[in-house]
Chains A and B, each alone.
Chain A
């Protein structure tokens, strides 16, 4: 049972444009969501997160939107840069469950920024 889904395995975006990566989840108990960027053979790098009490969080070029009713979140990157080319994973957890904050990951979306 895939509780966190990223339905687009790949996405290509022109440099300077907006990249939008989507993520859906099924477990309504999740209270915290994170986006990670990953290069091959490296550990994931934290990008941005959002609590379930919010619907938007912004950090520089990265903005995450959360729609709880739709159980959907998205990551917006604007403007997109060539260095953004990587695999992006969304993840969800029960942050309130101290000591058991294991992450459930989506399957990832490979973003390619075209110069």
Chain B
């Protein structure tokens, strides 16, 4: 079964509004989670590293004020796309490492469409 769960799997929002995507680790604690995005027919690109109890670390070129990340607990990280624009439409995926094994698991992904 899934060890990392994302919600919602699909969301449509109006331009200018904000949308929140949740990433939960199931049955394990994740002090660090990662957020990626994938544009059609492109690779997965790391957006930011989400650290429990501290500020996220953003990759170069990613607007931290636009993509708000909150890692308030050891099992939940949220990504909020603020003032969404059509160009933010993408597939967003989170991941977390299970420390009992050397494997990094991904959530199911969230498809965001901004209209």
Chain A residues near B42 (CB, 8 Å)? Answer: 107
**B32 partner, pick from A44, A45, A100, beta carbons under 8 A:** A100
Is B75 positioned at the interface, with any CB of A under 8 Å from its CB?
no
**A41 partner, pick from B31, B46, B109, beta carbons under 8 A:** B109
Chain A residues near B105 (CB, 8 Å)? Answer: 46
The interface size of chain A toward B, counting residues with CB under 8 Å, comes to: 24
Interface residue SS majority, chain B: strand
Is B104 positioned at the interface, with any CB of A under 8 Å from its CB?
yes
**B44 partner, pick from A32, A45, A89, A95, beta carbons under 8 A:** A89
A58-93 at interface with B (beta carbon < 8 Å): 89, 93
Question: Is the pair A101, B109 in contact by a Cβ cutoff of 8 Å?
Answer: no
Chain A residues near B32 (CB, 8 Å)? Answer: 99-101
Is B77 positioned at the interface, with any CB of A under 8 Å from its CB?
no
Question: Is the pair B111, A101 in contact by a Cβ cutoff of 8 Å?
Answer: no
Binding site for B on A (CB under 8 A): 32, 34, 36, 41-46, 49, 51, 89, 93, 95, 99-108
